[in-house]
Amino acid sequence: GTGVVTATPEQGDVEYLSPVTIGGQTINMDFDSGSSDLWVFNTELAAGSQAGHSNFNPETSTTFQLLQGASFEISYGDGSGAAGNVGTDTVNIGGATVTNQAVELATAVSSSFVQDTQSNGLVGLAFSKLNTIKPVQQKTFFDNAIATLPIPVFTADLRHAAVGAYEFGNIDSTKFNGSLSWTDVNATSGFWQFSSQQFAVGTGPTMNLAGGQAIADTGTTLMIADPSIVNAYYSQVQGAVNNETVGGVTFPCAAQLPDLAVDIGGNYMATVRGDDINFSPVDAAGTTCFGGLQAGTAGGLQIYGDIMFKSQFVAFNGGNNSIGMAPHQ
């Protein structure tokens, strides 16, 4: 069958949370197309780390089975991480159900996860080759579910300050304008990766980023792009400065931000709304705002995170390793 769950943004769209039922226990988790582990806050964690969270209790699940000798250890692009033991259980996401899903029980989590009490773990939706379970790597929920889905697809419909949805096994064409533009992904890295070699700032000329590559990553809040894109973009924003103290580009909150169009695989220019690039105020007065577009390393892999998803409906096809994109309805 298919599965559909809400995707509810935290304050400031920092991340999006969706209900996942594990062994009959429903827990809000962060769906992450940039990683491939399903791990959860649980009753094995130190009490201080459990505080404020929904904690999965493997002892009260009648279907949980420990995977003897298995462990995981993951670290993310933002430096956060988690590690612990592994079991299997029945995982149900909005009706799409996997009976033997690897469920990773964190026994250690970094402070950013502990502090974010709305989020109780991650559901990795990148390719299973990135799964960190040892000694035997395990599959993602999507990989385990794919054969039972009517179509081998999941979709992300993320919205600014509004409830969106993740859907498994169905493409809801009422959620986007026109038709999806499809692009082959290169799964070699384990990410939903595609070439992104052109961009345009506002109504300006299309510019080239030779060899540019990017990933579609719902688990990253911002858009991390090549410095050439970031410089070209903020050169069009009055008062934009690279603010070392804050750790990125800021600008006056009243600034008029242009749209940013980025190439998706040579087939489609995805327009990211300027308003969504005005990410959040950094001062109490709300005078100075932090950019949703920030620089990565020159020539490095670009990370198109939630800032892009707020403008684009995205379908991930695990049947032929492609990504479909269209502006939200």
Q: Which residues bind ligand FLK (CB under 6 A)?
A: 32, 34-35, 76-78, 80, 217, 219-220, 303
Nearer residue to ligand FLK within complex by CB, 32 or 226: 32
Question: Among all chains, which residue has been given the structure tokens 């990253």?
Answer: 220
Whole-number Å distance between alpha carbons of 3 and 72: 27
Residue 135, preceding peptide bond in cis (omega within 30° of 0): yes
Nearer to ligand FLK, 222 or 277 (CB): 222
CB of 34 to ligand FLK, least distance (A): 3
CB of 150 to ligand FLK, least distance (A): 28
Annotated active-site residue in 13, 30, 157, 217: 217
For ligand FLK, which is the closer residue by CB, 78 or 172?
Answer: 78
Cα 61–chain centre separation = 28
Burial of 262 (0-12, 13-18, 19+ CB in 10 A): buried
CB of residue 63 to ligand FLK, shortest distance in Å: 27
Is 217 catalytic? The answer is yes
CB of 265 to ligand FLK, least distance (A): 18
**Nearest Cα to Cα of residue 182 among 34, 328, 326:** 326
Residue 76 vs 316, nearer CB to ligand FLK: 76
Nearest to 294 by CA among 86, 77, 120, 96: 77
Helices and strands (H, E) in the chain, number of each type:
6, 26
Beta carbons of 264 and 182 less than 8 angstroms apart: no
Q: Which is nearer to ligand FLK, 113 or 290 (CB)?
A: 113
What secondary structure letter does DSSP report for 12? G
* Minimum distance, C-beta of residue 41 to ligand FLK, in the bound complex (Å): 14
Cα–Cα distance between 246 and 159 in angstroms, integer?
26
State the catalytic residues.
32, 217
